[in-house]
Amino acid sequence: MTGFRTLLVKELLRFWKVSVQTVGAPVLTALLYLVIFAQALEGRVEAYPGVRYTAFLVPGLVMMSVLQNAFANSSSSLIQSKITGNIVFLLLAPLSTLEVFAAYVLAAMARGLVVAAGMFAVTVWFVGLPLVAPLWVLAFCLLGAALAGALGLLAGVYADKIDQLAAVQNFVIMPLTFLSGVFYSIHALPPRWQQVSHANPFFYMVDGFRYGFFGVSDFPPGASLAIVAASFVAVAALGLWLLKTGYKLRT
């Protein structure tokens, strides 16, 4: 357990030591979105009946930040260790595959949750947000962060260079999070695009997370949670298998 705990603490310290960049910056970015979109669209768009657009937007932005930051944490840590070569210290250590996987994913989740907490702490002062089902909020937040952290681990193991990782981040993670219904209810989309949105796993996280606040969602939250959980199990299985085989880590 000491080995696992050490790796977890190391990964937590890694982002905490540069928290201005890893926590402060994403909170600020999300706030900018909030200010700009709220200014432009408040009163013009009503995603859910009786819900102000700013209130609608906050959970979406929080979930988007959770996903992006959890992904960034595990992927950037791994790629940096690979490029600088210090991953060797981990590879020489008697840690099991599961310990390594769990430490990276839990640290990624922690960063996602800290960013989420930061965003709520800042927005709570000027956006009134109901909280209908806090357990749903927590479940989606944890599971979403875990899935994104595990995806980050896959990307970090797979990528050989920073630009490959940046490509995954910019061409996969960013579009999927932006198009997951953060800024709109997918019911406002044409039927075809609604269907396309259903193929996006991030949609279920945003939608389910939002359900916890308003008690309203585009998709049944239980089904969303099942889809997110199944996605996590699949990604985790792949990640554990890659670590076990030593893919791209042990020659």
CB of 100 to another protein, least distance (A): 10
Minimum CB–partner distance for residue 154 and another protein (Å) = 21
CB of 2 or CB of 39, closer to another protein: 2
Q: Which is nearer to another protein, 81 or 231 (CB)?
A: 81
Angstrom distance (rounded) from CA 209 to CA 198: 16
Interface contacts to another protein, rule CB under 8 A: 2-3, 5-7, 9-10, 13-14, 17, 81, 84-86, 88-96, 246, 250-251
**Residue 78: CA count within 13 A, CB half-sphere:** 32
Cβ proximity to another protein, 63 vs 78, nearer residue: 78
Q: Considering the complex, state which of residue 88 and residue 237 has its C-beta at the smaller distance from another protein.
A: 88
Contact partners, residue 152, CB within 8 Å, separation at least 6: 70, 71, 72, 73, 74, 75, 76, 78, 104, 108
Shortest distance, position 5 Cβ to another protein, whole Å: 7
Give the residue among 36, 37, 35, 65 at the shortest CA–CA distance from 180: 65
Which amino acid is residue 91, in one-letter code?
L
User: In this structure, what is the dihedral angle of CA atoms 149, 153, 154, 157, given to the nearest 10 degrees?
Assistant: 170
CB 244, min distance to another protein, A: 11
